[in-house]
Chains A and B, each alone.
Chain A
Amino acid sequence: MNNLRWRILLIVVIIGACLWAIIPPDKKIRLGLDLKGGVHLVLRVQTDEALRLETETSAERVREDIEKAGITGATFKTLGPTSFQVTGVPPAQDALLRQASAGIQASYNREGGTGGTYTFVMKPNIANDLAAAAVTQAQQTIERRVNELGVAEPMIAKQGAAGDQLLVQLPGVTDIERAKSVIQSTALLELKLVEQGPAGSRENLLQATNGQEPPNTEVLPGVEGRVAAGERPATVYYLVRKVPIITGRDLRSAKEGPDSFNQPAIHFSLKPDGATKFARATSENINRRLGIVLDRTVVSAPNIESRIADEGQITGSFTMQEAEDLALKLRSGALPAPLTYLQQQTIGPTLGADSIRAGVIASLASLTLVALFMLFYYKLSGVNSVVALVFNLIILLGAMAYIGATMTLPGIAGFVLTMGVGVDSNVLIFERIKEELAAQRGVRASINTGFSRVFLTLVDTHLSALISAAFLFQFGTGPIRGFATTLFFGLVSNLFTATFVSKTMFEVVLAERHSDTLSI
């Protein structure tokens, strides 16, 4: 009796804890995107582009150093994301070049040397690290942006075999377009010196150089001048230095606000490192234009009028909202590499609400049907299975709430299987008890044998299902993982309710009355 009291207490505590975790359900149970509605994106970080940027920066560094060392006439060419070539170094200056490139020796292998041609190839482990870092940085950047957007419980996770994919889920997002534009834009800010321009067309711009981009420069489109709201500014072209003076990485902060003409603008300040570089470049280039390049478009190209150290302003033709979003993107850091989108899904709240309503109705209908059948077929003992079924549901939901798992449609599939296995466990035990009763054993003995004999069968069925749940979790992707999670907790809670809870209920009844019949 004492033992029985402890068992009841244990059950009450577990059920109480689970109920506490799930009430009220609309606040405590996290719904997946397929039920709640929202945006689901899979994107790939183009790590090659991050490597290319690094390679170009390294090449620029070597170029500056050898020019200082007095080597002239060397040309630089980027061969691929991880390699660049230097040609035209006179053999006599071989030693000088080696000295000048010592700074990047740790990351690059230098090949060749005969005929004044050198190839620098980034070491594979360095390239891998950089690529991985780019993905992590992209993940963190998107996370910060999304957080500032105020999305509740966003999910940003790495996925994919190559490790360069990011899964972004924004549940319950209503302004889908705005969220998308904040994530989608790479907000790659670069400040580059303008060599030529603006000009109305690419041809005009390159007239002086026979239509070729001079070495180390590139042509970028841009907008010129201010226009009235609603009007599109004309596209112009600039010839700019390929390597930026500073990039978004050098930013310390960015904030939107009106400029001196009371137009929307973004005020930024620089980190000490960037400020030094910026101050040097601006003081050397007074009266030249500085291109403010956002995502490969020149948004404005003001004249450098004096040396600027650590603060500046981005002006262009934005609306206040655009300026605000831009400042947010800059604040949250530039993406280290552009993104491409592999998958994109928006589930309208109505579609989600419809499927959850349908799912809940269907689940309740099937639960009721099964419960009625069990009561009809097993009479009073059927009560055990109904209680076990309901407890099973409560514990499963409670466990999901505690680990913060989300309910998805495949998750509901897991529920269905759990319920099926749960009823099966009850039926197995009851049928066995019936067999024992038919063999003229006493009520107590029949119940005991029924439970103990079936227990091993249940262990077999549950363990093999747990094995498959584990593998599905380990190797499956999102929805399959959701299924595996519900299945896992469902199986564990089922083993508890079908054996421990149900047996306790039988014992309570047996303790109350000493009958030699059993309603089953």
Chain B
Amino acid sequence: MQIFHNPNYNFVKYRWHALVVSWVLILAGLVMIWTTGIPLGVEFSGGTQVVLQFDQQRPSIDQVRTALDKHFPGGGQNVVVQTYGTEVQREILVRVPHTGKESGTELTRTADEIQAAVRAGGLGAFKVAGTEVVGPVVGQELASKGTWAFLLSLFFILLYLWFRFELSFAVGATVATLHDILITMALLMFFRYEMSLNIIAALLTMTGYSTNDTIVIFDRVRENLRGMRRDNIKDIVNVAVNQTLNRTIITGGTALLSVIALYFFGGEVLRGFAFTMIVGIITGTYSSVFIAAAIVTFWRHGKGGARIVAASAAMPAAQRPTTTARQRKGSRNGARAS
């Protein structure tokens, strides 16, 4: 069984279109970040968050908001009220963005005040399913450490790929990964997801996935560089992308399948995570084909395919003679010996 029989799409031809689409998305995301800021979850912004589980019936968000307006010190202007989880769980999330001083009593006081205000509103009995109070210092530290860990790991992957492939590939893979992060951030912005630790975990996961996807195609390009040494780099990349197309679609598809399951069955806590992964997998697959591969073609444009060959001249050059021959003639169905 085969999804594509001998595909020979000219992916490289569309690299400019892809670049425009990506840039439009990324710029839109950056503009949103610039104008509205990244909505930060309580772990990063600092603040108090309480999840209340009602015994009988979940009150409406408006009811909770009214109760807070009336009874919460300072009113409910900056307070976020959301339903949490499914209808059956009857949970409401209340969050106050800023904590005062980072001290023991201040820290718990806001959480107590929220509970007292909702209780005073007479909306029915409830339990506290969870509270989270984060002082601003911890949030900042978490954010800066995470960013550094991510940037450092990206840099060392770049070094590794440079060592294993060559600089153009390493830069291509790294730029593609950054591209995926930016696109995913943009979509998270459009749907107003908050930066939380789970979303960070998802971003890390999709980064790993995206790099993995790119390396597989690059490996094929490298292999083809040996067999197709007289070909144009564009053709070499195109052949590699087409040869791995079945695998790309299947892998992307199965991964997508699992995170879609996570999105629908994973519950409230995992929803942001799953959404990020869905976007990440789509853009990760797209960027390995259109961004990473395109960068390699830009970089090596005009150099032909001759650079790696010197190092690997001893390799059996005629691994796939038909591929090389037919590709050069531009035959529509010649990407693979079949």
Contacts and interface: CB of A to CB of B under 8 A. Distances in A.
B132 to A, nearest CB: 4
A377 B253 CA distance: 12
A468 B127 contact: no
A243 B129 CA distance: 45
Interface stretch (B29-37, B157-165, B224-232): B157-165
Interface stretch (A231-239, A308-316, A366-374): A366-374
Interface stretch (B71-79, B101-109, B179-187): B101-109
A369 B127 CA distance: 37
Interface string A398-423: 00000000000110111011011101
Given A423-B255, A477-B142, A341 B130 contact: no
Contacts of B66: none
A471 B156 contact: yes
B201 A438 contact: no
Given A346-B132, A359-B270, 9 more contacts: A44-B102, A341-B103, A344-B133, A362-B265, A365-B261, A374-B254, A414-B205, A472-B153, A480-B200
B205 A483 contact: yes
A321 interface: no
A4 interface: no
A420 B256 CA distance: 9
A25 B160 CA distance: 38
A468 B269 CA distance: 25
B103 A413 contact: no
Interface in B106-162: 107-108, 127-135, 137-138, 141-142, 145-146, 148-150, 152-154, 156-157, 160-161
Contacts of B262: 362-363, 366, 416
Contact of A467 (B102, B133, B150, B157): B157
B212 A424 contact: yes
Contacts of A416: 205, 258-259, 262, 277
A479 interface: yes
A153 to B, nearest CB: 20
A276 interface: no
Contact of B247 (A34, A339, A362, A431): A431
Interface in A351-371: 351, 354-355, 357-359, 361-363, 365-367, 369-370
Most buried by A among B138, B208, B243, B259: B208
A423 B249 CA distance: 12
A475 B149 contact: yes
- If over half of B's interface residues share one DSSP class (helix, strand or loop), that class is named, otherwise mixed; here it is helix
Contacts of B244: 431
Contacts of A42: 135, 138
A184 interface: yes
Contact of B130 (A345, A362, A468): A345
Interface of B: 1-2, 51, 53, 85, 89, 102-104, 107-108, 127-135, 137-138, 141-142, 145-146, 148-150, 152-154, 156-157, 160-161, 164, 197-198, 200-202, 204-205, 207-209, 211-213, 215-216, 219, 223, 243-244, 246-247, 250-251, 253-255, 257-262, 264-270, 273-274, 277, 320, 336-338
Given A339-B104, A341-B104, A379-B1, A370 B148 contact: no
B133 to A, nearest CB: 4
A116 interface: no
Most buried by A among B85, B108, B265: B265
Contact of A472 (B132, B149, B261): B149
Contacts of A470: 153
Given A341-B103, A342-B102, A427 B251 contact: yes
B267 A358 contact: yes
A365 B215 CA distance: 29
Contacts of B141: 160-161, 477
B152 A475 contact: yes
A345 to B, nearest CB: 4
Interface in A423-440: 423-424, 427-428, 431, 434-435, 438-439
